[in-house]
Amino acid sequence: MADVRSVALRGDLFEQRIREQWTEQLGRRLDLLVAGCAHDPPPFLDRIDAKATGVDEDLPAVRAHLPDRTYLDSWTLGDLRSVPIPPRSFDVVHLTFLIERIQHAELVLDRILNGLRPGGLLLVRMRDRSTAYGLCDRLTPSWLRRLLWRRLVQGDVTGPLPAVYEPVSSREGLRAFCFMRGLMITDDLAATSGPARGRAGSAVVRLVDRLSRGRFTSSYDEVTMVIRKPQNHFARLI
């Protein structure tokens, strides 16, 4: 059974883990990589010395929202397989709604993890391809997604962005990825958010759940994980 929590807990969890990471560094500046910087900003971190660097795909919808991301000290857009991510340069990577919308997702994740220092944290939020919402999102034609976007999504949310949903963009897929690379998952939560919370969206995902006999669940659509890169020198090098 999925662990379905309040949406508000996601930010609280990330903020708590970032503060713990900063405390462990005895007050040294926290270097933060915001991957998927067109989406949610990292948690508000008062009284923490942090430098935030953004990276995302070079898409019109992403570029249009970047001027509003004043919390970023610098940012880079481009092909995420080749944009500059210096090795072992970041203490925390905040990765929001990126994995499910890019191609070559495992390669991009490996590059991002290569930029993470030993003992660093990867904070992930993504839509799960194995849920009813994930199925609807990846099967809906792009023209229809554009038509429905503003009717189903509230607030100033970047989109609609591509819906690729490679196998790693699922709860089990990301768990397997972490296992193969010797990464430790310290927190693993599920929640319902976005269009799936509205009246029309919730009705559609419940119908998909029922028609698929529970194979594609409507109990959640979003996965939140906190993943730690090991300090152990004998762990697989990333």
Q: What is the pLDDT, as a whole number, of residue 3?
A: 42
**pLDDT at 229 (0 to 100):** 95
Mean pLDDT of 22-30: 85
**Res 1 pLDDT > 50:** no
Of the given ranges (22-26, 51-55, 150-154), which has the lowest mean pLDDT?
150-154
Cis check: omega of the bond before 41, within 30 degrees of 0: no
pLDDT in tens, 187-231: 999 999 877 777 778 898 999 999 999 999 999 999 999 999 998
Q: What does pLDDT average to over the chain?
A: 85
Query: Which tens digits make up the pLDDT trace of 73-114?
Result: 888 999 999 999 999 999 999 999 999 999 999 999 999 999
Alpha carbons 73 and 162: distance in angstroms, whole number: 26
Supply the pLDDT for residue 167. Answer: 96
pLDDT at 111: 95
Average pLDDT over residues 58-67: 83
Q: 199-206 long-range contacts, Cβ below 8 Å, gap at least 24?
A: 200/152, 201/133, 201/152, 204/132, 204/136, 205/131, 205/132, 205/133, 205/136, 206/132
Q: Kindly list the structural domains of the chain, giving each domain's residue range(s) and its CATH number in brackets, ordered by start.
A: 8-128+163-194+221-228 (3.40.50.150)
Q: Which residues contact 199 (CB under 8 A, 6 or more apart)?
A: none
The model's pTM: 0.87
Query: Mind listing the pLDDT tens digit for each residue in 149-198?
Result: 766 666 566 767 889 999 999 999 999 999 999 999 999 999 998 777 77
